[in-house]
Structure 1
Amino acid sequence: MTPSGRPAGPPRSSPQAWTVNLVAMETVSLEHQIQSVQRHIAFLKKEQMELLHDLHLEILRLQKHCSELTHDLEMKELEARQQEVLDRELEEKCRAMEAQLREKEKDNAELRKELRHKETLVAALRSSLRSKERRFLEELKRRSHRVTVLDTELHKQTEAAAYLSLQLHATAQRLPEHPPAQPRPRRRGHRAPARPRDPPREEPDAMPDPALFLYAPRQQQRPEPPGPARASPAAPRSPRQPPQDPAGRARPGRGEPGRGQGAGAPHGAPRAQE
């Protein structure tokens, strides 16, 4: 068959037939080549379209990524500018804090110096206070001891005064009330009219002077009734004895009226001379 679909006739051996056959074969070959080329072109076009589509998608993706990177870069630049501003502010704050720190260190140095001075003063005051406290305790101990001694002596003197008062009261009760009356000597000159004599009055018991016991703590003088001492200043005094031994004192006898009357002795003496 021929390439056109016609049945092939009997072979011809002429050159024209051979040329026709050759042309027909070439034509068929060209058609096949053209179809193959067209198929290749269609395939290439399809691949090219797919490639272009992929390239377009890739370009879009890259553009999006590029825009994202640009946005990130802008944000980073903005953050960098803000960070620079913050860094400058922090540097300024750091410089201000360093200046304040230097001032604080200077103030701390002055305060340490003042503190050392005050510690020295406190140590001196503490030492002075200890010495004053020690002297005060010594003085307090000494005064406490003296108060104890004086209290003991005062107690002894009070007991002695009470005992002497009791003895004096008992002696005054044992003595006679009045001595016998004696004639009064006559005096020259004008004589006053006689007056009625007052009835005898009982003289109060004389209490001893407490000054003798308060101002003589070491050696106490034996108290004597004030009446005989004034009436007879030249009379000898008995030796000093401590108040704890009242039994050794000499009791006045009944024949000594001056010791029994006490302060009333000066009134009894002129009556005895009448």
Structure 2
Amino acid sequence: MVAMVDAVERRPTVYHEAVSGIESKVSLKNVNVHYGPKQAIRDVAMEIPGKSVTAFIGPSGCGKSTILRSINRMNETIDIARTTGSVRIDGEEVNSRSVDPVVLRARVGMVFQKPNPFPKSIYDNVAYGPRIHGLASAKSDLDDIVELSLRKAGLWDEVADRLDQPGTGLSGGQQQRLVIARAIAVSPEIILMDEPCSALDPIATAKIEELIDELRENYCIVIVTHSMAQAARVSQMTAFFHLGDLVEYGPTEEIFTNPRDSRTQDYITGRFG
């Protein structure tokens, strides 16, 4: 009987209703991910609102990056990975065979932990996506997309006079903003960020955080971070993962000031992690 009560108490707190009047953009239901025989994610269900920042927090190996990659099917690039359950964007099942993963990943951009600009010019880094997706019919259109994307990424004023120079020649923080500009250039609806600041210094991190706050006005952003301070600064919703389970999910202020699960409390107060 005690075991049954404990199981009930440890069910994750999941918010399914609209948050602050914002409807759900991404809906996950009964999502399970296996790497070979090992189960990395168990029965995750959550509703992620649009035009906001949702942070995934938890100790290393808890599954937060795995669940992030399930949104744009990046787990498929790992041979032994297998995903079950439902992931929907605006009601459309992303795991359907009719969904082209290349098109999906243009709709759902991704920024990784380490800045990864292409070995091309700054201009060509940003223009790459629009070119392959046929988003510009003329050079002038492409020029406009590149400039607008760099402006949205807060990088235009720093690189406008050297667009023909290699993107790899930029500083780490500038490279990460270039990668964000590259993601924006194909007009995504969602931007996934997997530890985007972990390789950056505090000044560059502050610039990325300011950028995230600006971008949420137009995009649904989901960020994985080991920094609870960063999650508290940039996100409106926070999900805490532990050992493959979604333990608790809700408004960031509530998660950090009044968590409902003792494991969440222990993690944010530094008792483990």
Same fold (TM over 0.5): no
Q: Indicate the TM-score class for this superposition, using the shorter chain for normalisation.
A: under 0.3
TM-score normalised by length of structure 2: 0.19
TM-score normalised by length of structure 1: 0.19
Q: In proportion to residue count, which structure has more strand?
A: 2
Identify the structure with bigger relative contact order (alpha carbons < 8 Å, sequence gap 6+): 2
Larger radius of gyration: 1
